[in-house]
Amino acid sequence: MADIKVTPNGVTVSQNLRNLVHRLVWTSITVGYYFYFTGTTNSTGDIYYVKTTDSGTTWGSAVQVNSDASSIIVRGLSTWYDQWTPGNSGDIIHIGWSDCTEGGINAKAYFRYRRLNTSGDSLGTQRTVDTRDNGSRLRGYVGVPCVARSDAIYYLSYSGFGTDFGSWKRSTDAGANWTTLSLTNVTLQWASSEVRIVPGNDDDADDMYLVKWSPGGLFLYWYDYSGDVWTATVMDADVGSNSINLDSCTRVSDKHSFVVYNLDDSHLTLECIEITGNTTSTQRTNILTDTVAHTSIGIGIDPRNDLVVVYGGLEGGGSGIGAKKSQDDGVSWTSETQVDEDAADVDDAQIATRSFQAVGTIFLVWTTDSSTIVYGNTVTFVLVSPSDKVARVTGLVHHWAAGPNPVYQLEIMTGGLFSQYFSPISATNEPEPTIPVERKAPVWRPTLLDYGKWLADHTHAEQVAIFGEEAVSFADWSRWAIGLRAMGRGML
């Protein structure tokens, strides 16, 4: 569909902030929030959010986040949603930013924190977590909040030029008070400002992970709260010597974390690492290898626990935003799907990390090199099977049925094709191999069983969000499904 304008008319959105982390938050399949700053690198503006209640089709009026009487200079902006933390069912979006108004970006920085309660869209008191006055060349960059599995709030602030500055603080009273913790052995120079924080360590709910690039490699820092110490592990020593793009996320179902990053200075190769246990990291299959240079990248987890990665710059060359999906934790990736309609030069692609608009779809936002307007669009992914010739059972699925008895489907994959056995709508609940095999041919036609499976896999709210009606008919659904398959954008 056509690209959607997310920010209000007449608003200029800064493209030059550091560490623009997770500013797009989905709290349900229909409700989302986007946070942005209206100033530029060294000019004043304010922080706002806009909200959608129709899955991104329209966005409401801007609401100011910072409570300052006058406009401010912001060098970094970051958010964290409670439910991105495993085991957390809260409604709070935690917002952190650096206020460099006093003397500009080369002087004094205040690192701020504020909470948005999405259950009623009320903003809490604006807090100052830390202050840094370096006299000159401070370049106060960003404050990054994150919530541990213990519900404690952590806040990393960092900045500096030549002599780096960083502080690591913790709050257990909703940000009213902050305790200073150790940052020993963690170097946070301004030139290596690509940093992500996620909940860490399966064994301790208070521990955290910090993922950071520096010219010496891609590092995983494990923070042990009980000892107030950091342990560093090199995940990849072969990264470029100049700055790279990276992003990370945590899968709430098993607490595994994933990192995507550029391998080299030319930004031609995009790699993925999975972090499990304490500091065990496993290199996964490259998402892109020696392709066109790409810009901002993002990673998220969909409701099926699959990985989705987006990036600026298409695999085959040309402008636009590409997206790929993995159903096996990065062992293999789907072919590229282009997200944006206009195929403009992309400056700041952002994915709705850790939460998704609906099953099988994402809504993400970006700015272009020639515009300070934020655009968005939805992409729906195709499920791609491995092309090997080994026969395997790929799943036993319980389907919706029109009658009183359930329908089961047994899938066997051979040579990249799915063979499906269905149990009849009768007394039996087990697949019967005597039922004729249905192969998904190149010219695909949906059946009532396909329709039933789709209904079973999508909630009523998801169906309404996609079709805009209370109950989609089989005929309407079939036309939609066939159209998506024909465009190579469908996922059932």
> Which tens digit of pLDDT belongs to each residue from 183-208?
888 877 654 557 889 998 778 899 99
Quickly state the pLDDT bin for 226 (edges 50, 70, 90).
very high
Per-residue pLDDT, 342: 65
What's the mean pLDDT when you consider all of the chain?
74
Per-residue pLDDT, 465: 73
Mean pLDDT, range 167-188, rounded to an integer: 92
* 12-16, 21-25, 160-164, range with the lowest pLDDT: 160-164
Contact (CB, 8 A) for 126 and 66: yes
For the chain, give percent helix, strand, coil, nearest 5: 10, 40, 50
Per-residue pLDDT, 16: 53
445 compared with 26, residue with greater pLDDT: 26
Q: Which residues contact 120 (CB under 8 A, 6 or more apart)?
A: none
Quickly state the pLDDT bin for 275 (edges 50, 70, 90).
very high
Per-residue pLDDT, 432: 41
| Confidence check: pLDDT of 492 > 60 | no
Distance CA 92, CA 171 (A): 15
Mean pLDDT, range 78-105, rounded to an integer: 87
Q: What are phi and psi of 70, to 5 degrees?
A: -120, 160
Quickly state the pLDDT bin for 485 (edges 50, 70, 90).
low
Distance CA 416, CA 227 (A): 51
Angle at 344 between CA 341 and CA 350, to 5 degrees: 80
Mean pLDDT, range 204-218, rounded to an integer: 87
Query: CA 95, 101, 102, 105 torsion: positive or negative?
Result: positive
Per-residue tokens: 3? 């690209």
465 compared with 333, residue with greater pLDDT: 333
Contact (CB, 8 A) for 343 and 320: yes
Mean pLDDT, range 243-256, rounded to an integer: 84
145 compared with 377, residue with greater pLDDT: 145
Nearest-CA neighbor of 111 among 97, 122, 124?
97
| Confidence check: pLDDT of 396 > 70 | no
| Confidence check: pLDDT of 425 > 70 | no
Quickly state the pLDDT bin for 440 (edges 50, 70, 90).
very low
Quickly state the pLDDT bin for 128 (edges 50, 70, 90).
very high
Nearest-CA neighbor of 360 among 302, 426, 297, 289?
302
Within the chain, which residue ranges are assigned CATH 2.120.10.10?
4-380
| Confidence check: pLDDT of 146 > 80 | yes
Per-residue pLDDT, 278: 72
Task: Check residue 151 and give left, alpha or beta (phi > 0: left; psi -120 to 50: alpha).
Answer: left
CA distances from 225 to 2, 86, 150, 407, 467 (A): 48, 18, 11, 50, 48
Per-residue tokens: 195? 């940093």
Per-residue tokens: 189? 């120079």
Does the domain formed by 4-380 have CATH 2.120.10.10? yes
Per-residue pLDDT, 161: 55
**Looking at the DSSP assignment, which residues form a beta bridge with residue 322?**
311, 338
Q: What is the pTM of this model?
A: 0.75
Of all residues in the chain, the percent with pLDDT exceeding 70 is 64
- Strand (E) positions, 29-107? 32-37, 47-52, 63-64, 74-81, 92-99
Quickly state the pLDDT bin for 375 (edges 50, 70, 90).
low
Mean pLDDT, range 243-266, rounded to an integer: 83
DSSP state of 82: G
User: Do strands 280-283 and 337-338 pair parallel, antiparallel, or not at all (unpaired)?
Assistant: unpaired
| Confidence check: pLDDT of 153 > 90 | yes
Quickly state the pLDDT bin for 408 (edges 50, 70, 90).
very low
Contact (CB, 8 A) for 140 and 158: no
